[in-house]
Amino acid sequence: MSCPHNSFREMEKDIHTDFKDDMSYGDYLKLDKILSAQTPLSAQHDEMLFIVIHQSSELWLKLAGHELSEAIENLKQRDFGHAFKVISRVKQIFNQLTHSWTILSTLTPVDYLKFRDALGHSSGFQSYGYRKLEFLLGNKNKAFLKVHENDAKVYHELKEALEAPSLYDVTLSLLVDQGLELDQKHLSRDVSLPYERNASVLNAWLKVYRDADRYFELYELAEKLVDIEDSFQQWRFKHMYTVQRIIGHKKGTGGSSGVAFLKKALDISFFPELFEVRTQL
């Protein structure tokens, strides 16, 4: 009787092997650049984990920003279907990012301290991919732009995101589209300022939730926004908790109070009325 398991796989004759004049996998993905960008500053074994986790997180943040910008455009065009598709993807990206904390939590406080000094004042607080995401989602804070002042390209990109309507601002215009009344003053507010909860928005969401069949697309959009906030908050929480596990209540390399500063972010809601509506229903 033949055994279904083999210990050897034949090379198939049609497999392409000559990439002298042909684009390979590595060429397409620029692997020479990506895989030569890990340059630890210490001789400590665990610094590689620290670098790779940050770099891979930055790639996921970049993709999440790319998708969220698309969702904003889709909603501006009243294209709910495509917006739902990309918003669902963003949620899964955040889940993926949150999961990566389980790998980082294998870094012990003692091993981190062996190379922490080499990081100088560099910190995730200066992550422009992350800051752009916060701005796209509506958590605007002009003061946070200051750390990017000496990089004109990044500064400009972030300032643009700060001053543009967020995902939630565009959503509010869709409420108006459907005949729901919102305060004019709230609609024409300066969108570069931090978002403040508004009673007319809460009332509009109450109508949507109480008559979900009539406002089904808005209802579904609202629940997808709640999904996004939920998964984003999981990332914020796991970051704060992993940081606490690794450095306790030491100050951050970026100069903040550390865990205390990160905890404050947990109180920030992108879509406050969507959480308040649950109490009111």
Binding residues for substrate: 50-54, 112, 116, 253
3-state secondary structure of 192: coil
Minimum CB–partner distance for residue 144 and ligand HEM (Å): 7
> Does residue number 241 form part of the binding site for ligand HEM (CB under 6 A)?
no
Which is closer to ligand HEM, CB of 123 or CB of 203? Answer: 123
Which amino acid belongs to residue 121? H
Least separation in angstroms between CB 124 and ligand HEM: 2
Site for ligand HEM contains 90 (CB under 6 A): no
Closest to 139 measured CA to CA, from 68, 71, 193: 193
- Under 8 Å between Cβ of 101 and 242: yes
- Which residues in 116-155 contact ligand HEM (CB under 6 A)? 123-125, 127, 130
* Binding of residue 60 to ligand HEM (CB under 6 A): no
Q: How many CB atoms lie within 10 A of CB 246?
A: 18
Measure the CA–CA gap between 235 and 216, rounded to whole angstroms: 29
When the beta carbons of 164 and 247 are compared against ligand HEM, the nearer one is 247
The smaller minimum CB distance to ligand HEM, of residues 64 and 175, is found at 64
Half-sphere exposure of 213 (CA within 13 A, CB side): 0
Q: Which residue has the tokens 């024409």?
A: 188
Report the nearest approach of ligand HEM to the CB of residue 6 (Å). Answer: 40
258 scored as a contact of ligand HEM (CB under 6 A): yes
Site string for ligand HEM, 29-58 (x = CB under 6 A): ------------------------xx--x-
In the numeric block, the tokens 């001789």 are attached to: 43
How far apart are alpha carbons 10 and 87 in whole angstroms? 43
Q: What residues form the annotated binding site?
A: 50-54, 112, 116, 239, 253
Residue with tokens 């607080």: 125
Q: 121-140: string of b/e by CB count within 10 Å (b at 16+)?
A: eeebbbbbbbbbbbbbbbbb
Which amino acid appears at position 276 of this protein?
E
* The binder of ligand HEM chosen from 46, 63, 254, 276 (CB under 6 A): 254
Half-sphere exposure of residue 30: CA atoms within 13 angstroms, side-chain side: 3
Report the nearest approach of ligand HEM to the CB of residue 123 (Å): 3
Tell whether residue 80 is a contact of ligand HEM (CB under 6 A): no
Q: Which residues bind ligand HEM (CB under 6 A)?
A: 53-54, 57, 104, 107, 112, 123-125, 127, 130, 239, 243, 246-247, 252-256, 258, 261-262, 265
